[in-house]
Amino acid sequence: MFYKNNYDYDMMYPDEESDCLECNSDNLYQPPNFAHDYVDDYDYLEIHNSETFLQILKNCVFTSIDATSNFSTLFIANILLRLLTQFVPSRAYHLVSILTGIFIINYYAAESLFLMSVYTVISYICLCVPRKYQRGIEMLAISLFTILICEYSMDPASWHRIRGIIMIAAMKAVSISLDSKNNRNFSFNIWEYIAYIFSPLTCIFGPWMSFCNYKAITSGTVERKLTIRQIIVLWLGDLGVALKNFIVALIFLSISNCFAQWFIPNYISDGKWSTAYGDALSFRSSHYFICYVSSTVLSLGGVTSLIHPPTSTPTESISSTMTPATITRPIDIELPRSLVQVVISWNVPMHTWLKSYIFRPSINHVGKFNAVILTYLASSLLHGLNFQIAAVLLSLGLYTYIEFKLRNHLAKTFNACIGSRRCYLSSVSSLKSIIGFCGGTECRYQLNSKNSIKVLLTNIGFSLLAVFHLAYLGLMFDTSELQETGYNYLHTIEKWSQLGFASHLIALSTYIIYYLIT
């Protein structure tokens, strides 16, 4: 997600069919499995619609917010580490970063420290193999094997708590392995590698960060060229961004724990679909909470000011609010134009990693379709081959593919702006993108929402369909006791059967319509 001058910015967005295909298996990624674990610590309270707003504030919101004080150790550690970049040489900094990362992991997830240490040693040995003997898949194979061994040998509750931490470490190792193989000028030493894996910026909540961007942050070269006044302004700016991100995180925490069901009016709150939407909203809000906590850490570590994305090309411009610390875009998920937009915006770094290191390297060897399958398999295995996550990923992948093909066919047939991706050339708000509010020189279609009510209604209809699918798929991640150890296949089938497998049947009907008209 973090960009340097040589970064291929278009990899974040679907600009062609192959990009959309790759999105299929992207991202129901829970930034590292603390998405529910930390929320669980706040003692989820069942909120009834009969309670007033003030009662919910007193009984739930303030209690939840108070529990976030546990993050202070992580925040302070990264602030102090950033200060050290001004005064210590690079080698000393990496050592301090390693020690800080070990402390942070031991503080928040002690059971993962030994496994992280063993994995780091094994992965570094793999990286030391001469390039002529490397085939590019060794690190991925070792990483997936490690995850699968843990999946079937560790206590389910313990593995569920640390799975995200190991997944982030695996993503880092795979990326540095392929980068070093493909770029002969790419170099690193053992201290840099260990510091990269154990970086306190990303070792707990993620997200994945490229090694080059990690070095850009830790080198301190930018700040050393500035005056004291400029450094103060830079730091105040980062602190402001961090504060904003943390406030947003607390808002989403409150929604997840306290307001998800309360928002639903009494007269519809007893329906199974309203309950499904409330549970799905709670899950999505917990995901946003963790993502914004992670963004807070990144901002405190200097990511916001020390890494700058290059100017995007017109067709790649998605959001004028994108920053180097952006991990998720909730508005694009809650008010989506399409499911394609959802899978990209759910976790931008995960999307970028899968596209950079799984889909694109494999497409030349196995073709587009098989590359999509491999990407899906890699994503599922990184999550530990959990049936629930795999089922949701596969369903979302199929839905996205069907929607993309159908909408693109309709857009070409009727010369109308109803495709699954945005057609405008300049950045506009998410709400305008939902209704396809584009026209004139910014839209390549004859019909759009400015001159055709049918186009407007069609885009709104697909938006509502995407919201429906998200409610159905997100129902799997409820607040039952099973989440402590991970959900099994019976839980998944039972939840979907309660809704009559409606979403899958609608997706099948959509595909039949596409098949008949092409």
pLDDT band at 265 (very low <50, low <70, confident <90, very high): low
Confidence (pTM): 0.85
Exposed/middle/buried for 287, CB within 10 Å: 0-12, 13-18, 19+? buried
Mean pLDDT to the nearest integer, 302-328: 59
- Integer CA distances (angstroms), 102 to 107, 114, 208, 451, 458, in order: 8, 10, 18, 59, 52
Which residue, 281, 375, 295, is CA-closest to 333? 281
In the prediction, which pLDDT does 424 show?
Answer: 56
In the prediction, which pLDDT does 415 show?
Answer: 92
Nearby residues of 509 by Cβ (< 8 Å), 6 or more positions away? none
Highest mean pLDDT among 443-452, 472-481, 486-495: 443-452
Angle between helices 360-382 and 156-182 (to 10 degrees): 170
Omega within 30 of 0 (cis) for the link into 207: yes
Rounded CA-CA distance 121/420 in Å is 44
Q: What is the mean pLDDT of the chain?
A: 80
Which residue, 74, 309, 290, is CA-closest to 199? 74
Rounded CA-CA distance 448/417 in Å is 5
In the prediction, which pLDDT does 14 show?
Answer: 37
**DSSP per-residue string spanning 429-456:** -HHHHHTT---GGG-SSSB-TTT-HHHH
- Opening angle at CA 41, ends 202 and 253, nearest 5: 70
pLDDT band at 401 (very low <50, low <70, confident <90, very high): confident
In the prediction, which pLDDT does 18 show?
Answer: 41
Looking at per-residue pLDDT, the higher value among 317 and 159 belongs to 159
In the prediction, which pLDDT does 12 show?
Answer: 33
Structure tokens at 512: 């039949």
For residue 416, the SS3 value is strand
Mean pLDDT to the nearest integer, 190-206: 94
- Integer CA distances (angstroms), 142 to 118, 124, 171, 247, in order: 12, 11, 12, 39
Beta carbons of 473 and 492 less than 8 angstroms apart: no
Paired strand residues for 416 = 447
- Residue 179 confidence (pLDDT) above 70: yes
Structure tokens at 127: 């990286």
Rounded CA-CA distance 52/125 in Å is 59
- Residue 382 confidence (pLDDT) above 70: yes
In the prediction, which pLDDT does 266 show?
Answer: 54
**DSSP per-residue string spanning 66-87:** HHGGGGHHHHHHHHHHHHHTTT
Residue 377: which H helix or E strand, with range?
helix 360-382
8-12, 92-96, 245-249, 462-466: which range is least confident on average?
8-12
Which residue, 213, 182, 250, is CA-closest to 352? 213
User: Tens digits of per-residue pLDDT, 13-59?
Assistant: 333 444 443 333 333 334 444 434 444 433 444 445 567 888 888 88
Q: What is the residue type of 341?
A: Q
CA 401 and chain centroid, separation: 20
User: What 8-state DSSP symbol labels residue 312?
Assistant: P
Highest mean pLDDT among 76-80, 148-152, 421-425: 76-80
In the prediction, which pLDDT does 276 show?
Answer: 82
Alpha helices, H only, 86-188: 90-109, 113-127, 138-153, 156-182
Rounded CA-CA distance 3/306 in Å is 10
Paired strand residues for 447 = 416
- Integer CA distances (angstroms), 138 to 149, 352, 389, 500, in order: 16, 20, 25, 43
pLDDT band at 6 (very low <50, low <70, confident <90, very high): very low
In the numeric block, the tokens 């998720």 are attached to 328
> What is the domain partition of the chain in residue ranges?
32-66+226-307, 68-224, 330-346+386-517
Which residue, 209, 441, 416, 422, is CA-closest to 317? 422
In the prediction, which pLDDT does 201 show?
Answer: 94
Phi, psi of 437 (to 5 degrees): -75, 80
Strands (E), 307-456: none
In the prediction, which pLDDT does 217 show?
Answer: 81
Nearby residues of 457 by Cβ (< 8 Å), 6 or more positions away? none
Nearby residues of 415 by Cβ (< 8 Å), 6 or more positions away? 445, 446, 447
- Residue 381 confidence (pLDDT) above 90: no
